[in-house]
Chain A
Amino acid sequence: MSNLLLLLILLPVAAALVCYFVRSSAVRSLTVLATGAILAAASLGLLLQGAFDPIAVGSFLGISSDFLVTVLDFALLGVIFFYGLKHKNLLIQGFTLAQAALLAWFELVVVEHVDVPALVGDQLALIMVLIISIIGSLICIFAIPYMKEHEEHLHLNKSRQPRFFFFMLLFLGAMNGLVLANNVLWLYFFFEVTTLCSFMLIGHDATEIATKNSVRALWMNSLGGLAFVIGMMLMYAKTQTLDISAILAAGPQGALMVTGIGFICLAGFTKAAQVPFQSWLLGAMVAPTPVSALLHSSTMVKAGVYVVLRFAPAYVGTLLSDGVAICGAFTFVACAALAIGQSNGKKILAYSTVSNLGLIICCAGINTPLAITAAVMLIIFHAISKSLLFLCVGTIEQAIGSRDIEDMRGLYAKYPRTAMLTIIGILTMLLPPFGVLMGKWMAMEAGASNIYVIIMLAMGSALTVVYWARWGGSLMATRKEGAAPESQAMLTRLPLVTLCTGAVVLSLAAPWIYNSMLAPMFDAAPFTMSFGSLDAATGSFAVVPLFIVLGLGVLFAAKAASGFRKTRVMPPYVSGANISGDTDGTYIGPMNGDVPFAAGNMYLGELFAEGKLTPVFNALAVALIVLMLGGAL
């Protein structure tokens, strides 16, 4: 058991060191592939052994592991402070110094050092380990061919890939540590490691904009770190323990402790890039695509929502809980609105990520078994679909040299494989019977008991449809007969196809995932399962029947569509004479000139302009966060 845990946390670290010091691309590729395979297997192995009670880690070479973590903590703060100095950023310096001072006081004066079991694996942790180890590994594998091509574009003298893969793999180890931690100090340590990794990866290309955005990410996450330390201290002042399991079991314990949790939730908000902290995640898209995919799907932001969700039992039934729900719902609707005004594919994905994270946090705040189920389902399926979409956009970007969805019009004509995967990815984010929508459905059923929340969810849900549907639709086009098939590197196709299959098949398996992994989390499980349908008193989602009916329907429709060359393919109607023999929508215009087809989406600039809305949303979000923290008192 504990060997498996060490493997999940330390193997990525060891592999990261190999990638960093052995500057051979073959060794690097092999290390990444092997680490990915072992991590995936280990996470499955951990799942098979089932949930376990908190366990102690003991010591390394005679040094207690708690002490080691403390030392590393300060070392880490030192490194972050160094980067604060290097980039002359007062915010980073200030937040880091404050953290170090508070932490030193806490460690040296306040805390009674008793042995706290360091790791725990409940259902939530096991699910998170699966997501991190499998999806994270797939993204790292995708990065092997991607980074090769990326660096060819940049014409570097000396490859920066060792550094890149060092932080990518380190990230996975830190995430596994974070979700398995049972000691608050360990949780804090891994939380800070992810901050540093994300900073390094966002700034990887070392361009001016990359540096600027990475510094912004660092100061915002340092603020989160500071909030975490404050929260930890307040919480300790009341509970007198660092054992997360014990804190959760005891439930809410008065204003002081709940305020502490409120600050920890704030730390989660910064990490999950909730409004008003969304700008660091949007800036993160300057990094190579695998970084975005990693940050957006299985790591970093998921660490944020994980922290909020992890502590949910400790603030259940308090006003803080309502505050968290309202903040989350607000982010959901605000970022969905901001996404409508965007034509940059990566930015749409980024806003959609923040929006979905808001929904997850909202579910944590609603804090009923149904809502927690919704949150976990959303975490799982969002991670799969969103990583798929990011990797698709990365592939498209390398193919067409643009990430603008207007430039992706008719992508199917030239890149049918990638376009098809993207369309499926979009549909799995948007429509039933897929997992993300099922999560949203659960969230709505759970949120219906809170009028503020449900109004925002209803609006956000409608906004979401608009930006996904138009993107999906504009990718569709016809291939010329006998056009050459699209070529894709094996290591590119493997992660894409795996993720796409996963998004569909796991959605179908959702009732069983629920039954085996989520239901044991609750005393009174929110659903019963019959005939592959999830039933509750409030309503039911017939997953398998819908899959069968709609699946057969889509197969039939696809069959009907595949014979389209036998029907007459006509040029579109353009209120004028089409150019003869051309089905491209070009028509004979004034002066007998050819007028080609052109179209653009409606981005509703007057209503959803990013520049106008962002300051308003930020101000509102700050007010809501103040309201939330005050609610804890």
Chain B
Amino acid sequence: MDTLILVIIGIVVGPILGGLIAGLDRRVTAWFQSRQGPPIMQAFYDVAKLFGKEKMVVNQWQILCAWVYMIAAAVSVGLFFAQGDLLLIFFVQAVGAVFLVMGAMSAKSPYSQVGAQRELMQILAYEPVLILVFVGFYLVTGSFSVEAVWQLDQPLLAKMPLLYLALGYALTIKLRKSPFDFSTSHHGHQELVKGVLTEYSGPYLGLVEVAHWYETVLVLGLCSLFWSTNVLWMAVLLICTYMLEILVDNTMARMTWRWMLKRVWLLGMGMSVVNLIWLYAG
């Protein structure tokens, strides 16, 4: 029963939190750039407006894929709040990611095709790192379930510092922030147009947006597990991490997928492996 309540809380609060974070993100970015920026609630206004738009599609698969993306993202957040299995949560999240790509590939648009291919490269980059991070969880707690993390009396960060850094890589790619924003960009007037999102429009783009909020919450939720022993420090860790994300986003240019693959597979995986060796030895 408690689990069910937690799941409902997760599914309801998830997008609200995600939307607020998106709004805050824009405010802080504006502050970096000496602008005033939109109100914090702007993300919600945007999505509300999208839902009010006329339904226009390139084909039916987009409707299917946008919905499945949203549903899978919500289910993965639900599973996270149900303290489920980390690997399973990740795989359910991957359902959404795969459908987003497939929906983009169904459109006969060069921009959305390029975006889809690049999104796959992003998945290729972050997936192994995330799996190794979960293996780290397993080695410390003896289980892949989120539940086991709460029984620790020492923050995970102490045992998995390098894995946290590697997770930071994965986080930046997953949130499609610079320098890893090459499957889609925040600004439509570039060579990529909107990449993987180009052909999603109106209410369906709204769904994709909500799904992205869920994903943000999920990734930050993962980060929060690294300081599970103290709520205050957990908040500090999350705020620092996200601020760093925004800073990186604003100071870096978009790189290429080759750069990303090499960087993440060598550096991200390298750090993960070193940290895992410590854990296996410990």
Q: A residues engaging B (CB < 8 A)?
A: 410, 430-432, 437, 441, 444-445, 448, 451, 454-455, 457-459, 461-463, 465-466, 468-470, 472-474, 476-478, 537-542, 546, 549-550, 553-554, 556-558, 560-562, 564, 567-575, 583-585, 597, 599, 601-602, 607
A570 touches B56 (CB 8 A): yes
**Are A470 and B108 interface neighbours, CB within 8 A?**
no
Segment from B34-42, B91-99, B223-231 that makes contact with A: B91-99
Given A451-B280, A553-B67, A572-B199, A585:B109 Cβ within 8 A:
yes
- A564 contact from B63, B85, B87, Cβ within 8 A: B63
Taken together as a complex, chains A and B put the C-alpha atoms of A540 and B88 apart, in Å, by 8
* Min CB gap A158→B, angstroms: 46
Contacts known (A451-B277, A572-B199); A538 close to B131, Cβ less than 8 A: no
Chain B, range 78-117, C-beta contacts under 8 Å to A: 78-79, 84-88, 91-92, 94-95, 98, 101-113, 116-117
Residues of A within 8 A of B98 (CB): 430-431, 465, 468-469, 472
Bound together, the chains give a CA A557 to CA B104 distance in angstroms of: 16
Contact across chains for B85 and A560 when beta carbons are under 8 A apart: no
Interface residues of B (CB under 8 A from A): 54-61, 63-65, 67-68, 71-72, 75, 78-79, 84-88, 91-92, 94-95, 98, 101-113, 116-117, 120-121, 123-125, 127-128, 131-132, 135, 138-139, 142-145, 193, 198-199, 261, 269, 273, 276-277, 280
- Could you give 23 example pairs across A and B, Cβ below 8 Å? A430-B98, A444-B87, A454-B135, A458-B131, A461-B127, A462-B128, A477-B59, A539-B88, A539-B145, A540-B145, A550-B92, A560-B63, A561-B60, A567-B57, A569-B57, A569-B58, A573-B193, A573-B199, A585-B107, A597-B108, A597-B109, A599-B108, A599-B110
CB distance from A570 to the nearest CB of B (A): 5
User: Which residues of chain A are within 8 angstroms of B139 by Cβ–Cβ distance?
Assistant: 448
| Chain B residue at minimal CB-CB distance from A562 | B60
Interface of B is mostly: helix
Q: A540-B85, A550-B75, A564-B63 are in contact. Are A462 and B117 (CB under 8 A)?
A: no
Q: What residues on A are CB-neighbors of B91 within 8 Å?
A: 431-432, 437, 441
> In angstroms, how far is the closest chain B Cβ from the Cβ of A563?
8
- Cβ contact of B131, chosen from A444, A474, A477, A567, cutoff 8 A: A444
Instruction: List residues of chain B with CB within 8 A of the CB of A472.
Output: 98, 102
Are B124 and A474 in contact (CB-based, < 8 A)? no
Known: A430-B98, A454-B135. A539 touches B124 (CB 8 A): no
The answer for the CA separation of A459 and B125 in the assembled complex, in Å, is 9
Question: Do B123 and A560 have beta carbons less than 8 Å apart?
Answer: no
Q: B107 contacts which chain A residues (CB < 8 A)?
A: 572, 585
A560 to B68 Cα, complex, angstroms: 11
Of all A-B residue pairs in the complex, the 5 with the closest CB atoms, nearest first, are A473-B105, A585-B108, A557-B67, A572-B109, A476-B106
Residues of chain A contacted by B55 (CB below 8 angstroms): 567-568
Instruction: Please name 18 further chain A to chain B contacts, defined as beta carbons within 8 Å, in addition to the given A458-B127, A567-B55, sorted by A numbering.
Output: A437-B91, A444-B131, A455-B132, A455-B269, A458-B135, A466-B124, A470-B117, A476-B102, A539-B87, A546-B88, A550-B92, A554-B68, A557-B67, A557-B68, A564-B60, A570-B58, A572-B107, A607-B261
- Chain A residue contacts of B142, Cβ below 8 A: 537-538
In contact, A432 and B92 (Cβ under 8 angstroms): yes
CA of A570 to CA of B71, assembled, Å: 25
Task: Please measure, in the bound complex, the distance between the C-alpha atom of A473 and the C-alpha atom of B105, giving whole angstroms.
Answer: 5
- Report yes or no: B64 in contact with A561, Cβ–Cβ below 8 A: yes
| B56 pairs with A553, CB closer than 8 A | no
B28 to chain A, nearest CB (A): 31
Contact A473 B106 (CB under 8 A): yes
A433 to nearest B CB, angstroms? 8
- Select which of A465, A569, A571 is within 8 A of B120 by beta carbon: A465
Asked whether B108 lies within 8 Å of A584 as measured between CB atoms, the reply is yes
Least CB distance from B149 to A in Å reads 12
Q: Is the interface of A mostly helix, strand, loop or mixed?
A: helix
How far, in whole Å, are A609 and B152 apart by their CA atoms in the complex? 46
Instruction: Please give me the residue from chain A that is nearest to B98 by CB atom.
Output: A469
Q: How near does chain A come to B116, taking the closest CB pair, in angstroms?
A: 6
Q: State whether B112 touches A572 (Cβ < 8 A).
A: yes
Q: Given the complex of chains A and B, what is the CA–CA distance between A573 and B110 in angstroms?
A: 9
> How distant is the Cα of A430 from the Cα of B97 in the complex, in angstroms?
12
B105 and A470 contacting across the interface, CB-CB below 8 Å = yes
In the complex, the answer to whether B88 meets A432 with C-beta atoms within 8 Å is yes
Q: How many angstroms between the C-alpha atoms of A29 and B277 in the bound complex?
A: 59
Contact of A445 among B87, B92, B125 (CB under 8 A): B87
A470 & B95 in contact (Cβ 8 Å cutoff): no
Cβ of A538 and Cβ of B144 under 8 Å apart? Answer: yes
Residue picked from B59, B71, B85, B127, most chain A C-beta under 10 Å: B59
Is A465 a contact partner of B95 (Cβ separation < 8 A)?
no
A63 CB, min distance to chain B CBs, angstroms: 55
A251 CA / B180 CA spacing, docked (Å): 52
Chain A residue at minimal CB-CB distance from B145: A539
Bound-state CA distance A574–B101 (Å) is 19
Q: Quick check: B88 and A542 within 8 Å, CB to CB?
A: yes
Contact call B143/A538, Cβ cutoff below 8 A: yes
Query: Do B64 and A557 have beta carbons less than 8 Å apart?
Result: yes
Residues of B within 8 A of A470 (CB): 101, 105, 116-117, 120
Which chain A positions have C-beta within 8 A of B105? Answer: 470, 473-474, 476
A128 to B223, CA, bound (A): 44
The closest CB in chain B to the CB of A603 belongs to B117
Q: Which residues of A contact B95 (CB under 8 A)?
A: 431-432, 550
Name, among B116, B273, B276, the residue most crowded by chain A CB atoms within 10 Å (CB to CB).
B116
> Which A residues are in CB contact (< 8 Å) with B117?
470, 601-602
Once the chains are docked, how many angstroms separate the CA of A469 from the CA of B128? 17
Cβ-neighbour of B59 out of A478, A558, A574 (below 8 A)? A478
- Cβ–Cβ < 8 Å partners of B104 in chain A: 473
Nearest chain A CB to B131's CB is how many angstroms away? 4
Are A564 and B68 interface neighbours, CB within 8 A? Answer: no
Identify the interface centre among A469, A477, A569: most chain B CB within 10 Å of its CB: A469
Q: In whole Å, how far is B49's beta carbon from the nearest beta carbon of chain A?
A: 18
Docked-complex contact A556 and B60, CB < 8 angstroms? no
A560 to B71, CA, bound (A): 13
- Kindly list chain B residues whose C-beta atoms are within 8 Å of the C-beta of A478: 58-61
Instruction: Tell me the complex Cα distance, A516–B124, Å.
Output: 37
A561 with B58, Cβ < 8 A, contacts A470-B101, A472-B102, A573-B198 known: no
From known contacts A476-B106, A541-B88, infer whether A557 and B63 are also in contact, taking CB-CB under 8 Å. Answer: yes
Are A568 and B56 in contact, with the CB atoms below 8 A?
Answer: yes
Select A571's contact among B58, B68, B101, B273, beta carbons within 8 Å. B58
Q: B residues within 8 A CB of A572? A: 58, 107-109, 112, 198-199
Q: In angstroms, how far is the closest chain A Cβ from the Cβ of B279?
A: 9
